[in-house]
Amino acid sequence: MLLTAFEKDMAVGGQGEAAAFAMDILLRFGEAIGAPSFLGISQAHVDGCLYHGEVSLDFVERLVAEDGRVRAPTTLNVGSMDLLHPELIGGAAALRSAGRRLMEAHLALGCEPSFTCAPYQTRFRPRFGDQIAWGESNAIVFANSVIGARTNRYGDFIDLCCAMTGRAPAYGLHLDENRKGEILFRVRDVADAADALYVATGYIIGERSEGRVPVIEGLPPPQSEDQLKALGAVAASTGSVALFHAIGITPEAPTRRDAFGGADARGPIIDLNSADLRQALAKLSTAPDGVPIVAVSLGTPHFSLREFQTLAPLLAGFRAAPGVDIYVNTSRETYAAIADTSLLAILEAAGLIIVTDTCTYVTSVLRRLDGIVMTNSGKWAHYAPGNIGVEVAFGSLRDCIASAAEGRVVRTAL
């Protein structure tokens, strides 16, 4: 790879042992993928705060021991602990201790204590055209698609190496030529911009894009960017989508020709009708209507302030059925924002459990795993059965609250 004088100095230890270690890994990675050089990044988002075993600690604590510091502003993804509400976390004490150690080790490197899967909802949101190095699948697709920043799918350790060096390999979605649409999805005969439409569309493009950059035509203008967040999250979960273009909605796709890089549509064209979308939503549930539930889980990706504002009116006069818990996952930054308003009091009066710093489908938070859990998140519905072994019912936010009150699956919007 072609290196600048500063990068050469970093590689031979001129900027410290930790930076040299990270640069050595990035050089090997860059050579393996055929990147010709590096580019500077304005920020990083590190996915490796979630404890997966001793190797997680070994890697980060080595960098700490070598007095390492990140060279770009670096936010952190969810960890294995809710550091604000540690009493919510179950599991073995040794695992809780290791999870806390890992989160604290990242802080020792100078990372920001964000602990959220939605860094685009924080003060560190990047700008259009920024070169960044982000881990976490939903954050990656949101940054590329909705914001128009540029990142590849960086996995654990590589994302941290980018943060430690301030560099990322110049390849993939960092470059103009790799951001052009390659497959067209046409949404037909759907005018209602309901949340479920975006989840269903994301599910299908994830399943059927097969590594190509999808372009979506006919999607109704979203009521909020949370709908695009949901679309990208499930597309990244079902098919590793890192970038989509929605014509007339996302910044690189004002027209179809723009979405395809100034050319006519290329690649397959797939039409989606209401039946296709209903079928996709049905795949997100392992439980039928009417069956009892033990919990509702919201906020995957993390709930935004706007989502809390939408939720609050649904809680007027609300009382959960006996034995049903409602969890809402959010960032500590959003949690602080609702604490300064009447929203938190409304949520607590309704008995909702606010979870920060982590998420209920990756950590031992749910009080009961012996029944059906309902969610409005396509990502949560896709991963939770395999991750924590629960049966899942997918439904709209309104349906989730109605189901919690009834103590059984109630669906009106599918």
Angle between helix 225-239 and 195-208 (nearest 10): 30
Q: Where are the alpha helices (DSSP H) in 316-358?
A: 332-339, 343-349
How sure is the predictor about 193, in pLDDT bands with cuts at 50, 70 and 90?
confident
Cβ-Cβ contacts under 8 Å for 94 (sequence gap 6 or more): none
> Cβ–Cβ contacts within 10 Å for residue 85, how many?
16
pLDDT digits (tens, 9 = 90+) for 2-45: 999 999 999 999 999 999 999 999 999 999 999 999 999 999 99
Q: Where are the alpha helices (DSSP H) in 4-112?
A: 5-11, 17-33, 54-65, 93-108
Residue 412 lies in a domain: no
pLDDT greater than 80 at residue 414: no
How sure is the predictor about 413, in pLDDT bands with cuts at 50, 70 and 90?
low
Instruction: Give the domain range for residue 157.
Output: 5-176
For residues 221-227, average pLDDT: 96
Of 150, 176, 202, which closes a domain?
176
What would the two tokens of residue 398 be? 């309104």
Question: Contact 131/42 with Cβ under 8 angstroms?
Answer: yes
C-alpha 78/C-alpha 269 separation (Å) is 37
Kindly state whether residues 402 and 308 are assigned to the same domain: yes
pLDDT greater than 90 at residue 325: yes
pLDDT greater than 60 at residue 219: yes
For residues 185-207, average pLDDT: 92
Query: What rounded mean pLDDT belongs to the chain?
Result: 96
Q: Computed from CA positions of residues 165, 170, 176, 180, in that sequence, does the dihedral angle turn out positive or negative?
A: negative
Question: Contact 117/229 with Cβ under 8 angstroms?
Answer: no
Residue 275 lies in a domain: yes
What one-character-per-residue DSSP string does 262-309 give? SS---S-EEEE-HHHHHHHHHTT-SS-TT-BEEEEEEEEEEEPHHHHH
Residue 287 lies in a domain: no
Task: Using a pLDDT cut of 90, give the percent of the chain over it.
Answer: 96
Residue 414 lies in a domain: no
Give kind and range of the element (H or E) at residue 215: strand 214-217
C-alpha 391/C-alpha 291 separation (Å) is 11
For residues 41-63, average pLDDT: 96
Say how many domains are in the chain.
Answer: 3
For residue 301, whether the previous peptide bond is cis, meaning omega lies within 30 degrees of 0, is yes
Question: Contact 181/264 with Cβ under 8 angstroms?
Answer: no
pLDDT digits (tens, 9 = 90+) for 144-160: 999 999 999 999 999 99
How sure is the predictor about 265, in pLDDT bands with cuts at 50, 70 and 90?
confident
For residues 53-74, average pLDDT: 97
Indicate which CATH number applies to the domain containing 96: 3.30.499
pLDDT greater than 90 at residue 333: yes
Residue 75 lies in a domain: yes
Residue 41 lies in a domain: yes
> Cβ–Cβ contacts within 10 Å for residue 124, how many?
19
Q: Using alpha carbons, list the distances in angstroms from residue 207 to 200, 212, 241, 307, 333.
A: 11, 11, 9, 27, 33
For residues 320-328, average pLDDT: 98
Lowest-pLDDT choice from 98-102, 167-171, 273-277: 273-277
Residue 401 lies in a domain: yes
pTM of the predicted model as reported, rounded to 2 decimal places: 0.97
Residue 54 lies in a domain: yes
